[in-house]
Structure 1
């Protein structure tokens, strides 16, 4: 039987090189990322003879130049002829080199075998590299996608979702429920966290069950998941979870972890229970399918479930925690993520160092400052003593005069020596002290994270199995302070046994001696 080829998401296995009909992230600058779906070269596209083209302020980049290249490659801009894009006129000011290269490329296309076929009209013009401009092409990751995705709602950024996935124990093979898909930032990160390959039928595989109430966002999210190859790993549902709950086709997802990014998470908590709540927490909740039939819990009955809610206001946190306590959640904890990057550098102090324009040098110590002042005063006196004409510049100096040397100060006409000249004299770690500055701004979303745990139901069968595995009264070893006491008792008993054996030996010797005397 031939194994079927699986379409693995580029977020999980992008491969060593770029390929057509796949997502790539174009890095235009440090904080400017652009997601692009690379298209195969199938002929003229949008008036471009080179095929699909990405236009940026750094130049034009045909998709053909970005295909089958290693990830992380630098892509040079191309000279793209836009004269045929709807205006039907020749472009003015095209240089001769571009025209000759274009003509050579057209001639090459005419001589190629593809030109003799019926599809010769769809031949792609070879792109010509431009003199300047470049970008980098990067593989898609949840971090890059979070930075570059089209925003439909507020985004859960990397500092938040990395901590959330850690606290709710999302791991390969876990099943996770997400309510409030929004722009899909957390969805992509959670898929990578629970992905454990594509196991055989009957084996538990990692999966994300995502719920979105807004219909337009739901359709856009569904298309993105299809384009990213995540259909088999994410089950997206259009539903109001406040009233509809978290069942999928009437069945339980058996979730191990839950993430709620909702305006009122306390109104959805009564669905996340082991058994039917006695009273609904939201009085206006409409009856669900569980209200008329036997209660089906969406949680995994064999494991404790970890929950996180994402709320921007402390009032929402208060109501959420109150609902959690009524429903039996334990280990409730609220966390606020305050991520801040620190930039560490060495503060270089000294008048002999070169700095950027506009930055004032500061003296290393008082002696260096005094030497500098003496040098400046000496130059000022010499300049004031020289006869001046009316047209002479006040800042000009006599180039023929040698530099004034004062002690250990600068000797090249008042100019400080370069860093290269002093590098051999001063060790790098002696050029200044280490200083740390915080990053002025970081992309994150200020919210309160509430974590809680719902223990599994402990039945009589579970108690019997635990008693059989760990029987009471038959412990072989103890730990901690009790272990020290036990070892002392064992040594005391051993010493008593040793003393007892010695006493018996002494009594036996005494008896033998008496018997010998009696015989004599």
Structure 2
């Protein structure tokens, strides 16, 4: 059976076992996980993702619609180790039973119990979410940069793209989505293909066969650091992208961009994320450059005029597509690198050289609720929205202050009257032997005659919150980030015209003259 399409290209409607899923805890906090509910684990619930918002066993993440809010589970984190695992029916929960697959084992999994709090969202993998959640091995190319780069390189389905300096694989995953138009040995289970086939069968139409053989798109990724190259290859296979991506451990400065058997990738676009991209440009030509050109481009007199493949007697094979113009982009953080790269591009015949700097700012769109009714509520601005609200609040404050001072004055006067009565002695003016003070019944100042206090306002706001539709209230506003982040790198673009021979000139003359 042919392997199914990668979840990066068509994730389907539900998550699946042994496929990549993204656990989203917050807007910028995402955790990638290859869902393996029966995978090897020290937990009785199977493989578990432990986060600050709770534990999420993979058994609760499989066969869930994308976008589902998954509740956290109660996981016994103290039962780690095979000797301490839970036991049920007198048997070890970790006891494994052999299956038909020699590389996997199956064990009884305890059903996870839902926790009282904590949740996460399960979302499908995309180049954007993978860029935010991938394990960083180097500085990555972020979405604002690679989206602009792929647009300027005019990468389309069926194109071949060379990437040098793969690093963490952020750009690799984004490029795959652009070039993919199928792959040999890859089963296209996408909904678009299924709908098209169903529609053609319904109307009884048979699609026409193409005259030319389909040219499948591909990404040819080169990485100098061997551990990073191996890790990227492992991730590409794990994500189901290996039919489209070719990862090669290579020093492109000396060995160029052809494959290990000296086969040309016939690239239509090139992306160089290298410390010294000008030293690799001598390999991105249609004909072997002269020794003087190589030394001028490399800016180093000791640079050999030939590559290691030519030194071993292999003929020069251009890695570029001879049938169309080639577009290139270099990714350099320093302007000195840009200067050397531009000089090398001019020397080797590249045209339309241009430099771009991307400075992205995030826009926050939300509703702003302003008013004294928002006091004590989350997400609101408890400031006066109008002059009338501000004046009324001042009147309430002054009214309560006046009532408070009046009550304090009455208490003070009552204390003074009692003190004067004690000074006159025990005998009163009526001679009955006891002092007498006429007690006047005062009406206490209650809540009925006073403006509402802060406690009263908070209680009223909580009661009104039960009937308010906060998502409809307030003004819809957008705000940018307060500070502009520094640039990631300078992008240098150039175009190498297609190869034009005497035969091409003769064909054009016969056709158009």
Deviation track 1:271-291 (CA, whole Å, cap 9, x = no partner) reads: 111212222122333432246
Please state whether the residue corresponding to 2:330 is helix, strand or coil: strand
Q: 1:387-426 to 2 correspondence within 5 Å?
A: 387=408, 400-403=446-449, 415=457
Change (3 A) 1:51 1:71: same
Which residue, out of 174, 179, 188, partners 1:194? Answer: 179
Q: Distance in 1 between matches of 2:303 and 2:118?
A: 58
Q: 1:26 touches 1:35 (CA, 8 Å); kept in 2?
A: yes
Aligned to 2:303: 285
Aligned residue pairs total 434
Give the gaps of 5 or more residues in structure 1. 91-101, 391-397, 472-520
Aligned to 2:116: 131
Q: Distance in 2 between matches of 1:455 and 1:334?
A: 19
Please state whether the residue corresponding to 2:166 is helix, strand or coil: coil
Aligned to 2:338: 317
Q: 1:152 touches 1:183 (CA, 8 Å); kept in 2?
A: yes
Q: Distance in 1 between matches of 2:326 and 2:154?
A: 9
Aligned to 2:493: 451
Query: What displacement does 1:333 show?
Result: 0.8
Deviation track 1:115-135 (CA, whole Å, cap 9, x = no partner) reads: 9x9xx9932222222222222
Instruction: Give the aligned CA root-mean-square deviation in angstroms.
Output: 3.9
Q: 2:369 touches 2:381 (CA, 8 Å); kept in 1?
A: no
Q: 1:332 touches 1:450 (CA, 8 Å); kept in 2?
A: yes
Give the gaps of 5 or more residues in structure 2. 100-104, 186-211, 413-443
Change (3 A) 1:435 1:89: closer
Query: What displacement does 1:246 show?
Result: 0.7
Corresponding position: 1:30 with 2:4 = no
Which residue, out of 142, 146, 150, partners 1:165? Answer: 150
Query: What displacement does 1:8 show?
Result: 2.2
Aligned to 2:125: 140
Deviation track 1:483-507 (CA, whole Å, cap 9, x = no partner) reads: xxxxxxxxxxxxxxxxxxxxxxxxx
Change (3 A) 1:359 1:175: closer
Please state whether the residue corresponding to 2:173 is helix, strand or coil: helix
Q: 1:402 touches 1:413 (CA, 8 Å); kept in 2?
A: no
Aligned to 1:376: 397
Deviation track 1:212-254 (CA, whole Å, cap 9, x = no partner) reads: 0011111111111111112211111111111111111212111
- Relative to the length of structure 2, the TM-score reads 0.74
Deviation track 1:166-217 (CA, whole Å, cap 9, x = no partner) reads: 1001110000000001001101110111000126995311001111001111
Corresponding position: 1:224 with 2:219 = no
Change (3 A) 1:380 1:161: same
Change (3 A) 1:304 1:358: closer
Aligned to 2:364: 343
Change (3 A) 1:202 1:358: closer
Q: 2:268 touches 2:326 (CA, 8 Å); kept in 1?
A: yes
Change (3 A) 1:467 1:399: farther
Q: 1:466-505 to 2 correspondence within 5 Å?
A: 466-471=508-513
Please state whether the residue corresponding to 1:335 is helix, strand or coil: strand
Q: 1:18 touches 1:66 (CA, 8 Å); kept in 2?
A: yes
